[in-house]
Amino acid sequence: MTGESSTSQRQIWVVIEVSRTHHEVFIESPPSRRCHFRIANSRKGLVKLAAFLSRMCVGCGIALEARGDYYRPLAHFLREEGFAPHVASSAQLARRNDHLGGSWGKNGSRKAEVILHLLKTGATQTYEDLGETHAQDRRELLNAYLQISKEKARLRRTIVTHFLALYFPEATRHLRSRHADWFLQILFLTPCPAAVRKYSSGEFLAAALALKGRRLKDTRWLARFYQAAKNSIGLPVSETSEVIRMFRMVLTQYMDACCLRHELEEHISTRFANDPSLRRLQAAPGMGPVRASTIPAAPDRPPYGPTGPGRRPAASGQRYIGRPCDRMDGGMHAQLQGLPGVAEQRSLPSSDAQAGGIGPRSGPGLSSDPHDAAAK
């Protein structure tokens, strides 16, 4: 009797659990033999892994968890060595594990089982180097913009809920007005009611109007602000106290974050001004240059949306950025049609859940797909 000679029987499956200091490697080779070992997250450890995989006489299917950014150096190294690694997101693993009726518990091999199941059923995505797709610069620009925006929001929350709430409550309403940029400079000049009261009405108007970025015909607004400072209910504090010194320090950080954010917005607008896909996206209502840049910047990101009929991850080897209607208004769907890098999703075969010896829950009242059960 001749043995099985199909490609699937001779395929070797390699699953790598990624972490910061080391990686766990699980290998399944025919006939159903498995081994497990650990490698250091260093060049020496990766070279040993590549040499071990190169000694195998048959093809290797390699998959790893897209955990933060730790997986990208490993995937890049494997591509440089001639392998074709696949990735699966942590959210995708959690959903599929729930679908299969499992629990992570303290069993470390359970995650490897789920990754192996996704790899065998073709539910993973082929890793693509951002440097090769010219998306690295755009991704880092948007990441810097996100971090600056978060820092700006944190500082603003500190100013509003702490300093102004204690020492100048009447100034909070002006921070949300159209005068906000100019008002920050006024607030730095007079951070407490005592600093305002040392000026006469005319002197305060002259000092405020001399600041950069002032608007015309704002004397009535300044007069209201001056009157509110005279009748303030904030805690009495001197302008030379340590409290106001710390307040001005936080204000300086907040104004710097605002300036950096404006500079980055202008740089993004100038850098991608000639991109036809971005110009087409910005034709949609409410779509600015920064928001438009986020769509082509992540063509290789693993799916994070829920799975289900018509919403399953793309087949292996296909890039995925998600259906437009999954993450924005329906009116944007027509705007995105035909853009480069937007791939249509394809549903997996109905028998994919049974591959690899792992099957979904079934029985009376249970659906093979949780979204089908919710729809019913």
Domain ranges of the chain: 7-134+350-375, 142-271
Q: Is domain 7-134+350-375 classified as CATH 3.30.420? A: yes
Nearest partner of 65 among 49, 88, 42, judged by Cα: 88
Query: Taking the CB of residue 238, how many other CB atoms lie within 10 A of it?
Result: 11
Mapping DSSP to helix (H, G, I), strand (E, B) and coil, where does residue 79 land? helix
* Per-residue confidence in pLDDT tens, the chain, 376 aa: 333 333 344 578 998 988 888 888 988 887 778 888 899 999 999 999 999 888 876 678 899 888 788 888 999 999 888 888 999 887 778 788 777 766 665 555 778 888 888 888 888 888 877 766 667 888 888 899 999 999 999 999 999 999 999 999 998 887 775 567 788 888 999 999 999 999 998 898 888 888 876 555 667 888 888 999 999 999 999 999 999 999 999 999 999 999 999 999 999 888 888 888 888 888 888 888 888 888 765 544 444 444 343 344 443 333 433 333 333 444 444 444 444 444 443 333 433 434 444 333 334 333 334 444 444 4
Q: What is the pLDDT of residue 374?
A: 43
Separation of alpha carbons 60 and 4, rounded Å: 18
Q: What is the pLDDT of residue 237?
A: 93
Separation of alpha carbons 103 and 15, rounded Å: 19
Decide: pTM greater than 0.75.
no
Report residue 153: phi and psi, to 5°.
-65, -40
Mapping DSSP to helix (H, G, I), strand (E, B) and coil, where does residue 23 land? strand
Q: What is the pLDDT of residue 235?
A: 93
CATH number of 142-271: 1.10.287
Sequential DSSP letters for 239-296: TTSHHHHHHHHHHHHHHHHHHHHHHHHHHHHHHTTT-HHHHHHHTSTT--HHHHHTTT
- Contact between 211 and 182 (Cβ < 8 Å): yes
Nearest partner of 123 among 132, 114, 131, judged by Cα: 114
Query: Taking the CB of residue 303, how many other CB atoms lie within 10 A of it?
Result: 23
Quickly count helices (H) and strands (E) in the chain. Answer: 18, 6
Separation of alpha carbons 71 and 181, rounded Å: 41
Separation of alpha carbons 74 and 51, rounded Å: 14
Give me the torsion for CA of 165, 170, 171, 173, rounded to 10°: 100
Separation of alpha carbons 115 and 123, rounded Å: 9
Q: What is the pLDDT of residue 91?
A: 78
Residues in the chain: 376
